[in-house]
Structure 1
Amino acid sequence: MRNTLNFQPDTFQQEQNPNSEANNMVGSTLPRRALGRLLRELRKTSQKSQLSAGLAIDMSPPSINRLEAGQRVKISTPQFSALLDLYAASADQRAQVLALVEETKATKGDPKGGWWRAYSDVVGSHFDHYMGLEEVCNRFTAFQLTLLPGLLQTPEYRRSMIVTNDPDMSGVDIERRIELATRRQARIQEGDTFLVDVLLSESVLRHQIGGPAVMSDQLIHLTEVGQMSNVSIRVVPHSVGSYLGLIAQSFILLEFPPLRDRGLIEPPVIFIEEWEGALFLEEDKAIQRHRNAVADIRRVALDEDASRQLLVGFAKEYSA
């Protein structure tokens, strides 16, 4: 069983103080991530610890960690300047950092965060950070062993999973979670600016979530979405034997476009959701292992046409 870690430099779960959100720097995710990575590189080059950085600007080491991870942190421009002094940043490095600070502020949008924050009381504590990434990624690659990713779930499929996970959830909260899922799915309509590549184990088709009628509708929905130019849905049949996906298990690979006006490209993130938490992996080795897994899964998966035929066959079987 995979161990779930809540907070480490390359594997972290977002921590938030809801009472301070209005004062936080809440710029778009990509500039914040680029800024955090640059500050982390400068700190390491100067051989300073997160503790010494925090002491220099009256900030805790966990806050420095969140800043370097591209998460929202309350910090002023003078504090950034003090960090750059501590790191002995060059004039060019200083200019790049301060330009990213200004870009982050200029694109901050809603001071309370993304639209999904309205649903924060009915989702997991990691969800805000995940949605910040999903909203700005331009390529979404998922491999699922047992359940469909949220971007492809019909309302009734989603409803069945919510009730299974929390039978005592109120009807109002169930509907709010379904509404959240529906709003997320609007990104699929963006066309080639948002590419969706979904790889499914045959087990996903065989588990009768919500019963035969729900599954029939769900699989018909998959065949329709799969015909969109920016969406690829492929199935790995049980007959293929062993492959890396069985070892890697379910995961999502999020990739990002170049940062506006700067050409910087933020590294991908692997998202792994579990019952008791979630992992956000950014380490190069972890990304490459999962890329290798994706390549091997694609090797054994049916092509899109054959996958569509399989989906139609299961849908007819469930509707019979």
Structure 2
Amino acid sequence: MPKSRADTGNRVSTVLARQLGGQLLGFREAAGLNQAQAAATLSAQAAKVAKMEHGWVPFRDPDVIALCQAYGVDSPDTVDGLLKLAKLDRERRRAKGWWVTSLTQGSLREYIAMEDVALRLQTWQLALIPGLFQTPEYMRALAVAAVSPDRIDEVERLVDVRLRRQRRLRGDNPLRVHAVIWEAALRQMIGGPRVMRQQLEHLCALADQPNIDVQVLPFRAGVHSCGGGPFNILSFAESGALDVVHMDGLRSTNWVEGAEESAAYTDLFARTCATSLSPYDSLRLIESIAKGMNE
């Protein structure tokens, strides 16, 4: 099977590199330069700039600085943001984390590698408890339903992967998570009453951690703007300028990488937060639903 242009030899297109390349492309076009003119700044061929703009190669700091100067990008904050993004991408490419050998699904490897270096995660879920908050029993119930009978041995591997991901919630520099969950996800009987009650109790315990915020969008809120599907916003800087959005479907994974597009999802998430219950009231609702779970 032929390899795509985005994954040939040493050229591997990554989400972070594509985001950085896209920003530099926008600056180049605004400056009225073509790829050959930009490449002359680097004493290179136009092909190098093309590879950079498509995220096929890691970025060297001197190249980023030289291109910014050529494009007239003189804001220290902007240049610093691009350099941080380049550094994150280089670290991401070098990373030999546990997910490299634990996973066969390339799209999931990419997401977990991004999650591993992110500072903050904002997640919206309609039908399920967020993966980072799931108990092993809840995970198994989901995995058994998703895996075909002839691949049932994969269930424990899938559970192990998700449990390892949850390590990011602890430690010296834990991932900060803000989750908004539709009430339906709290009431859907995954694994039966006992499993769901334990899951909801676990969710309440997590909500007490300083790096975790949980809000519930109740049924009574009516029509909401996030009905299109679940999504995750990963942030790699405090400013939000380096955000990417991840949406995982049944057969495909989609990344929203442009600054304008990711900002639209950030705004959508903020509006959903505003119509959801406060963290305190959300916790009270979760506790009430958990108590109502009968064997």
TM bracket (short chain) = 0.7 to 0.9
The one-letter code matched in structure 1 to 2:25 is R
Q: Partner residue of 1:253?
A: 233
Q: Partner residue of 2:134?
A: 153
Q: Partner residue of 1:243?
A: 224
The structure-2 alpha-carbon separation of the partners of 1:277 and 1:232, relative to structure 1 and needing over 3 Å to count, comes to: same
Which deviations, in whole Å up to 9, do the C-alpha atoms of 1:56-114 show, x marking residues without a partner? 366796x55542xxxx6379999x69xx79x9948999xx89x959x849964884643
Paired residue total: 279
Q: Partner residue of 1:203?
A: 184
| Alpha-carbon contact 2:19-2:258 (below 8 Å) kept | no
Counterpart of 2:292 in 1: which secondary structure?
helix
Q: Partner residue of 1:287?
A: 262
What's the offset of the Cα at 1:166? 1.4
What's the offset of the Cα at 1:282? 2.4
Could you list the runs of 5+ residues in structure 1 that have no partner in the other structure? 1-12, 259-263
Which deviations, in whole Å up to 9, do the C-alpha atoms of 1:209-248 show, x marking residues without a partner? 11211111111110000010111111111011112122x4
Q: Partner residue of 1:270?
A: 245
Q: Partner residue of 2:207?
A: 226
What's the offset of the Cα at 1:208? 0.9
| Alpha-carbon contact 1:14-1:126 (below 8 Å) kept | no
Q: Partner residue of 1:56?
A: 45
TM-score, normalised relative to structure 2: 0.75
Please say if 1:73 is aligned against 2:24.
no
- For 1:177, which of 153, 158, 163 is the aligned residue? 158
Aligned mates of 1:173, 1:229 — CA distance in 2: 34
Aligned mates of 2:92, 2:174 — CA distance in 1: 21
- For 2:25, which of 24, 35, 40 is the aligned residue? 40
Which deviations, in whole Å up to 9, do the C-alpha atoms of 1:160-200 show, x marking residues without a partner? 22221112364543222211111111111147753210001
What's the offset of the Cα at 1:254? 1.3
Q: Using CA pairs below 8 Å that are at least 6 residues apart, which structure has the higher relative contact order?
A: 1
What's the offset of the Cα at 1:275? 0.6
TM-score, normalised relative to structure 1: 0.70
- Note the aligned Cα RMSD (angstroms): 4.2
The structure-2 alpha-carbon separation of the partners of 1:201 and 1:126, relative to structure 1 and needing over 3 Å to count, comes to: same
Q: Partner residue of 1:189?
A: 170
The one-letter code matched in structure 1 to 2:262 is I
The one-letter code matched in structure 1 to 2:34 is K
Counterpart of 1:158 in 2: which secondary structure?
helix
Q: Partner residue of 2:280?
A: 305
The structure-2 alpha-carbon separation of the partners of 1:91 and 1:267, relative to structure 1 and needing over 3 Å to count, comes to: closer
What's the offset of the Cα at 1:285? 3.4
Counterpart of 1:135 in 2: which secondary structure?
helix
| Alpha-carbon contact 2:102-2:161 (below 8 Å) kept | yes
